[in-house]
Amino acid sequence: MARTKEQASATIDPAAACAPEWTDILRQMILIRRFEEATEREFRKGKIGGYLHVYSGQEAVASGIITALQKGDALFTGYRDHAHAIALGSEPRRVMAELFGKATGISKGKGGSMHLFDVEHGFYGGYGIVGGHLTLAAGAAYAQRYRGTDHITVCYFGDGAMNIGSFHEAMNMAGLWGKSGMCPILFIIENNGYAMGTSVERHSALTDLSQRVRAYNIPTEKVDGQDIFAVRGVADRVVRQIRETGKPYCIEAITYRFSGHGAADILQPYRSKDEVEEHRHRDPIGILRNRLGEICGLTDDDVKEIEDWASKEVAAAVQFAEESPQPEAEELWRDIVAEHGPTRENE
Ligand SMILES: Cc1ncc(C[n+]2csc(CCOP(=O)(O)OP(=O)(O)O)c2C)c(N)n1
Ligand SMILES: [Mg+2]
């Protein structure tokens, strides 16, 4: 997918780029990549059941936005959600344990890869129904203002999610509530070019996806989702604006996933190896690493130290998941139906 002229270019001042925060962000992105590689290995070994969708290639979109947020902000996303949880501060070992279906997992082993949930860190899921979470996020943003807080909600979704009815319902309500400053929400379109095996050109009548959001009176901006400086630059500005005004905003991040749609998407007949290879030249981790090398003197040894640290963290997470207990059988009935609804006892 070609980059368009409309996309913002790097907007972080080179001097600011050498702040230690940027090495921490590189650390976070490398950790997420190593984590995802490990999940693919563990899935093949049969340790992870159900579905598995990894985020490799899109890291700058999670890290660039999430590092601009404050405690108390809320985040919703779809099923490609491991990176968001880790960037928000969930412990990698508890995320891995969730994928293994273990009791120590962040959803007590009952959610799996697609249903991570960690309210303590502002993570409101993790949803498997494509686009279903957009309405929940719009409602959460309304509640934040209704309760008089200055928190904001961030709602990530894929290009494919824009074709479900709830996308239109959520956008309309956000646009409407936003008129009176009652919907502080940042929508992020993670436009990775495909919905499973269907390209944007084949699934959307309008390929300028932002235009579809503007139809609901919500301003939009495209950004190069592989360049974390660009993503974070836009995020800093619009997060502040949303917090101040209570009005919704949408960022369309142009990005690319390096792995298949899900763990079962092995042959990937809908795209060529050359296309994937071409995008690998714009690896968001490589872009940040090179930039920090050029501007701030980050060395290969520094990067190796980070990579070794990340590999160890992930190995420890896998070991923790492996050694954790299965949920108790009674857990099958806990947190599943509302307390006030019918219980097994009175059925
Ligand atoms: C309502 C609904 N319809 C269909 C599916 C099957 N499905 C799972 S992922 C997916 C594609 C979504 O693509 P996109 O929103 O672009 O996200 P990406 O996988 O690219 O991150 C589909 C159609 C589903 N989970 N839910
Ligand atoms: Mg997509």
Q: Which of 130, 203, 207 to mutate to test the pocket of ligand 1 (most atoms within 8 A of CB)?
A: 130
* Tokens of residue 254, six digits: 């142009």
Nearest atom within ligand 1 for CA of residue 162: 15
Query: Separation of 51 CA from ligand 1 center, angstroms?
Result: 12
Mean pLDDT for the stretch of residues 168-197: 98
> Which of 72-76, 205-209, 329-333 is least confident?
329-333
pLDDT digits (tens, 9 = 90+) for 20-30: 899 999 999 99
Q: Which of 145, 284, 258 is nearest to 194 (CA)?
A: 258
Establish whether residue 62 lines the binding site of ligand 1, counting it when its CB lies within 6 angstroms of any ligand atom.
Answer: no
Q: Return the CATH number of the domain spanning residue range 16-326.
A: 3.40.50.970
Using a 6 Å cutoff on CB, does residue 18 contact ligand 1?
no
* pLDDT value of residue 341: 57
Average pLDDT, the chain: 94
Region 293-312: mean pLDDT is 96
> Who contacts 30 (Cβ-Cβ below 8 Å, separation ≥6)?
285, 306, 307, 310
The CA distance from 288 to 299, in Å, is 13
Domain chopping of the chain, boundaries: 16-326
Predicted confidence at residue 15, as pLDDT, reads: 73
**Confidence class of residue 336 from pLDDT cuts 50, 70 and 90?**
confident
Decide: 57 and 284 in contact? Cβ < 8 Å. Answer: yes
pLDDT tens digit string along 197-243? 999 999 999 999 999 999 999 999 999 999 999 999 999 999 999 99
More confident residue, 340 or 220: 220
CA-CA distance, 268 to 129, in Å (whole number)?
A: 22
At position 268, the amino acid (one-letter code) is: Q
The string of DSSP codes covering 185-200 is: EEEEEEE-SEETTEEH
pLDDT above 60 for 7: no
Alpha-carbon separation of residue 282 from 22, 115, 224, 279 (angstroms): 18, 29, 10, 5
Q: Is the pLDDT of residue 3 over 50?
A: no
Of all residues in the chain, the percent with pLDDT exceeding 90 is 89
Q: Determine which residue's CA is closest to atom 5 belonging to ligand 1.
A: 130
pLDDT of residue 9 exceeding 60: no
